[in-house]
Amino acid sequence: MSRRLITSGSEFEENVAYSRAMVDGDYVFVSVSGTTGYNYSDMSISEDVSK
């Protein structure tokens, strides 16, 4: 089985060859390092940590 990359469409993923997750066989690897709640559609970040 081949690897499958999961992306959110962020420009940073394309620019630095980064993927949010990768599926490899029966395993799913998830990267949350450096992930923020930044909303690129309106260029804001929530003050609420749950959003």
The 10s digit of each residue's pLDDT in 1-51 is 688 888 888 787 788 877 788 899 999 988 776 667 788 889 998 887 765
CA distance 51 to 45: 9
pLDDT score, position 24: 92
Predicted local distance difference test score (pLDDT) of residue 7: 82
**In Å, how far from its chain's centre is CA 20?**
3
Q: Say if CB 49 and CB 42 are below 8 A apart.
A: no
Q: Of 18, 26, 16, whose CA–CA distance to 8 is shortest?
A: 18
pLDDT at 49: 72
What is the pLDDT at residue 51?
57
